[in-house]
Structure 1
Amino acid sequence: MNSWNLNHKKVLITGGTKGIGKATVEAFAELGAIIIFTARNKDEVMKMEQEYVSKGYHVMGFVADVTLAKDRLAVVDHIHKLWGKLDVLVNNAGMNIRKKTIEYTEEEYQKVYHTNFFSAFEFCRLCYPYLLAAKNSAIINVASVAGSFDVGTGSPYATSKAAMIQMSKSLAVEWAKEGIRVNTVSPWFTVTPLTTSYLADLERLEKIQKRTPIGRVAQAEEVASAIAFFAMDKASYISGQHLIIDGGLTSGVF
């Protein structure tokens, strides 16, 4: 029997209708997981849920803004009523506003922090009892190469992702004896709706490709595969790790 699967794993994936989040929902569904994914746009959530249900997958959409406490609580209450436990939490929801540091308004940088880091921190805390109930559960946080190196994404985005990386390490140690593994993946430029307009500049894209030993940007499915591995029982001895998915970028001359 093939044990490289996520059969019957109860999973929450935030930011699940686009980019890496959508690719992760698809990868997990194909591997047999039972999934709740979140996003803000009701039409997109319902359309995606119907698409996966029609294929026979166990996928449920939940309309929620991860930056709002009431929405986070609603998601977790749904998990409580539906499952009473959670095997895997994927904190994927994220956003960016590209500006020079002194050009941000407080509202703008707070939005970046609340979407990227504070929502993930709160979901870890809120889901803790359900991850504990599942036993041998896993958290995967989606950060970025920008959390470790300056790649010109803007300081709020970079610091929010750096905070995710360190949070994962701290929680991995704190919760290890309780059977909760915590790991991080940090992609380099990946084809997603968040990067489409940025990568549309052909001169900029060429520079990025030249800096990357593999010579191209990542596809969302390639990042989702790493997330899926961290979620598997096959990765049961892996915790506190930070996997940089960058096509060899940080192994060369930066």
Structure 2
Amino acid sequence: MLNKHYFEALDITLNDLMKTRLNFGYDKPFGGKVLVFRGDFRQILHVVPKCSRADIIESSINSSYLWNSCKVLKLTKNMRLQNSASSSTNEETREFAEWILQVGDGTVNTIDDAQTIIEISPYLLIEKSDGHILSLVSFAYPKMIANMKNHSFFEERANLAPTLESVEHVNNFMSSMIPGDEKKYLSFDTTCKSDEDKEIEGDWFTPEFLNEVKCSGIPNHKLNLKVGIPIMLLRNIDQSIGLCNRTRLIVTDLTKKCHCNINSKR
């Protein structure tokens, strides 16, 4: 999903190399080398600042001269259907996968005036209630307290939310449901002194300001943890034992200054 200029620059570079060293393949895409591109055009396109939608589409690889030399390969077997031994679950997963593809292709209930009404299956909907977060948690994590010691229970489930604020609300609610004492951990909040030749004023970035920054990929300044709570590792620690980005973990012990004794589960 990168800009087409990346691939065109690589094509020119490989052509020059093959022409200079082997005098072969310079008239073929990428100097005759086989390249595999992985991606899904149903995902969001890359960002082109201050450009229109047409300009963004024009910058994608399928608008490049290289696209005519590409062969599109599609997956034909849903591997998720092999994860469950239940035939009813497999059938439900298959129907959901087909419905998602139809939504992405725009073939669901198409109307001539370019407007579409998509009907969502009842089993995917959460009934209206006063406690919408409770309904969401109960739907994704049924009998959560009874399954606290079952690591696969958290491994196979996850909640998705559109904003970080919603993520924090759901996390705080689920944490309140887990029994036990809660401990608060704060990040190191001392800023580095800016160099004198820098144009940015270091006084603007006070610890109070930095502690309020919340963005994807960076943990909050304050973490409230309990024993048994599931967490996710954001940075590589030791890949040899499976501690890499997005590894799911279960907290088994909390100390005064740090938390340790963590069992990892991919």
Q: Would you tell me which structure has more strand in proportion to its own residues? A: 1
Larger radius of gyration: 2
Same fold (TM > 0.5):
no
Q: How would you bin the TM-score normalised by the shorter chain?
A: under 0.3
The answer to which structure, 1 or 2, has the higher relative contact order (CA under 8 A, 6+ apart) is 1
Q: Would you tell me which structure has more helix in proportion to its own residues? A: 1
